[in-house]
Structure 1
């Protein structure tokens, strides 16, 4: 499943998201919910199949967080003392209370009014309703056309992208100087991966700490043998933005054959207030796939 598909993003979020994905939350909570419900029903069914009644008094009242008071009680069966407790209001230490316990296992017990109320599904109902609401909200959000509007971009960011045979190379640009970090993506990556990597590089160019590198160090970090080899076997674009406009400036082979020049005739400009981010990504990739004629 591709990472920019709707189903993938519904459960696991977009690549690069830092919050806990929806699917991860479900994978954590659902087993606990099912296990707790199974244990509760099993305990109640075993008790109701072989019940015994007795009476006792409340021995203590405690509090855990803001969940309300918990009453505690003790009772004795065949000379053995057993304990129990439940959330309840309006009681005081010393009040009489009825208890139902499992005849062959008195450790399984509860108060009379809890027993006759039957298994509680309130927490399950609340969880299911909350999960449905969150799922509908998330699906509605994801089901919108992919990245139709542009994200807010502050300041002035720059990113160089090179397309070689099997991958894209994203390079951070501080003003006019290329540096780290450098990111790599396969040519067949999804638009979501492409976008998130681009945004990471933009963020680095705005907020990262600039470390000056020599050309030999930079080309090595890009995993290329030489700048000449990179220029001969790659397509390149420079993306730069301010808070209102994003420009894409492609490269072309230099007339002397020794490097790359800017190809202003194919440059593109987008107004961030009304442009489609999907169009920006597709246009960038299309420029990188452009084949020049001799």
Structure 2
């Protein structure tokens, strides 16, 4: 029995460059010749596949972060969602609006929060206004849930905006102090509208926070 070793230089039958193949053959009985794999020093297809998939996932994640950071295209928003935001000197208060009525859930963020936290909370409220369960509340119950002493105190020491969207546009409607000093009125002159198809989500968040800072609060 003679043996011949072939050091492969091509990729064939699952083997890559550098694979060694031992060929065992018999001169008198060629029909009994067979190939024996002495060793295989290349990676298996399974490990290669896992490595490639991991690289693709990592690349997509990095691309998404970069695209999110520099392009900030608007997310797809379905239906008609509404969120009311109040700003005191200490925090933002996000209130879910069902049609025209405010209710739970209510979220709170510190004034120093970053845009990502602000965005995530806004999206949670939008989702709740579309898919949540409306809970009827009395005004006294609602203001207590907002951690405020009274509506009068909130109106005197806060600014506010209403954000509402459909599948194509998002509108930010700010408030202003009422002429009688007893509440807040809508300030249509400063309202801003964004086209969700080509708008910048970063601009929406920055514009919202800027409108909320238009008047100083002195709680």
Normalising TM by the smaller chain, what interval? 0.7 to 0.9
Alpha-carbon separation, structure 2, partners of 1:106 and 1:164: 92
Counterpart of 2:190 (choices 266, 271, 279) is 266
| Superimposed CA distance per residue, residues 31-81 of structure 1 (whole angstroms, 9 cap, x where no aligned partner) | xxxxxxxxxxxxxxxxxxxxxxxxxxxxxxxxxxxxxxxxxxxxxx99999
> CA distance change for structure 1 residues 143 and 94 in 2, over 3 Å: closer, same or farther?
closer
Deviation at 1:131, TM superposition (A): 3.8
Whether the 8 Å contact between 1:150 and 1:272 is mirrored in structure 2 is yes
Deviation at 1:278, TM superposition (A): 0.8
Alpha-carbon separation, structure 2, partners of 1:274 and 1:92: 48
Deviation at 1:277, TM superposition (A): 1.0
Q: Which residue of 2 aligns with 1:169?
A: 93
Whether the 8 Å contact between 1:195 and 1:281 is mirrored in structure 2 is yes
> CA distance change for structure 1 residues 101 and 268 in 2, over 3 Å: closer, same or farther?
farther
Q: Larger deviation: 170-179 or 77-86?
A: 77-86
What TM-score, normalized to structure 1? Answer: 0.56
> CA distance change for structure 1 residues 286 and 240 in 2, over 3 Å: closer, same or farther?
same
Whether the 8 Å contact between 1:101 and 1:109 is mirrored in structure 2 is yes
SS at match of 1:160: strand
- Work out the number of aligned pairs and report it: 218
Considering Cα pairs closer than 8 Å and 6+ residues apart, tell me whether 1 or 2 has the greater RCO: 2
Alpha-carbon separation, structure 2, partners of 1:107 and 1:162: 87
Whether the 8 Å contact between 2:87 and 2:159 is mirrored in structure 1 is yes
Q: Which runs of 5+ in 1 are unaligned?
A: 1-76
What is the RMSD computed on CA atoms of the aligned residues? 8.6
Alpha-carbon separation, structure 2, partners of 1:289 and 1:196: 20
